Amino acid sequence: MDTNLVPFTAEDYLDGIHALSVLPENETRRRFKPRASGLNDCARQQSYYMHNIPRTNKAEEDKGRRDHKVTAELGRMAEDLSVKAVTGITSPLISPEADGIAIRNRQVSLPDTACVTGHPDGEVHQFKRGETNEPTQYAEELFDDKRWGFEHKLFGRYSYLKLFKLGLFKGAPNIVSQVVLYGYYLGWDAVTIVALSQDASSMRGERTTSLRLHEKGKTVETRNRHAWATRDDLNPKVLVYNLPTLSSFYDGFIPSLTARAEALTTVEDPDAVVREADPGDSRPFPCNYCDWKDRCIAAGPGSVIIPVSPLQED
């Protein structure tokens, strides 16, 4: 018997994930609207994606970037876990006659009139249990008549810490744009956002290191840079943000978000779009992680300007 034979390899595993997770209609196609979750990303990068331009910087492109599919599937599993975790929670926002809350209307489609695509993760509804103790009656509005959305994210170490250190609006502006757009088109008054960490142990480790540098750093700059670790509100596994006045952001954000999205839908030549990041910048993000970096550099800076979003990062 050949002792080199094995049941499967890491490549086989990634192929299996890819086969499970990719729907035929999402495999390769021209997209005519930008994604709500990425509207603040570089306009040229979004245009390449929407026009289904072949990626120039990913060797595994022919296999559908299988490693990313693992992360996507973990995100779906974590979302299901969060939905189960909150089911039955009692809140002051629900009617005294209700027995708890549950997440409903999961992964609904936005209306055709929306300027973006997306599948909102759900809405927080209150429910009453029936004779079998199972939820039988649901109400869309919570006790104060608010329609309350729900969005779930699974973050790696860098994104999770950035969210904690800078807060929701500066640490995760794409999430803010996403829930504002979802809420506007679905009639949400408020939203709850759950952010889970993929690696709580590294979060604890970095905090321990930063605490030491904060206490013993040789310069004021060093001590201030690590002051975040002294906060007592860091949960290494989950952060929950509630925006009870989500609808108050619509007037301020929707016009500019819509203008940006509509301009992206009219792009004919992605190479002509003005890039919103400098591939020659010494900072690794975002250009060093862009699937079209080589093509973008060869195309030059571009001339077609896409309106900016008020939530774009500097």
Position 58 scores a pLDDT of 65
The verdict on residue 59 lying in a domain is: yes
Beta pairing class for 238-243 and 190-197: antiparallel
The verdict on residue 309 lying in a domain is: no
The verdict on residue 105 lying in a domain is: yes
83 phi-psi bin (left φ>0, alpha ψ -120 to 50, beta other): alpha
- Cα atoms in the Cβ-side hemisphere of radius 13 Å centred on 121: 27
Q: How far is CA 306 from CA 64, 257, 265, in A?
A: 28, 11, 10
CA angle 59, 62, 66 (to 5 degrees): 80
Position 132 scores a pLDDT of 64
Position 60 scores a pLDDT of 45
pLDDT tens digits along 12-60: 877 777 777 655 445 556 788 999 999 999 999 999 999 999 888 765 4
- State the DSSP H helix or E strand holding residue 201, giving kind and residue range, or none if neither: helix 200-216
Tokens of 305: 């300007």
The verdict on residue 219 lying in a domain is: yes
Cis preceding linkage at 286, omega within 30: yes
Q: Whole domain around residue 86: which residue ranges?
A: 10-299
The verdict on residue 101 lying in a domain is: yes
pLDDT tens digits along 190-220: 999 999 998 888 888 888 888 898 888 888 8
The verdict on residue 305 lying in a domain is: no
- The pTM assigned to this predicted structure is 0.87
The verdict on residue 1 lying in a domain is: no
Beta bridge partners of 72: none
The verdict on residue 2 lying in a domain is: no
Counting the structural domains of the chain, the total is 1
CB distance 92 to 82 below 8 Å: no
DSSP-assigned letters across all residues of 136-151: EEEESB-TTS-BEEEE
User: How would you class 191 by CB atoms within 10 Å of its CB: exposed for 0-12, middle for 13-18, buried for 19 or more?
Assistant: buried
For the chain, counts of helices (H) and of strands (E): 11, 6
Q: For residues 78-91, give the mean pLDDT.
A: 89
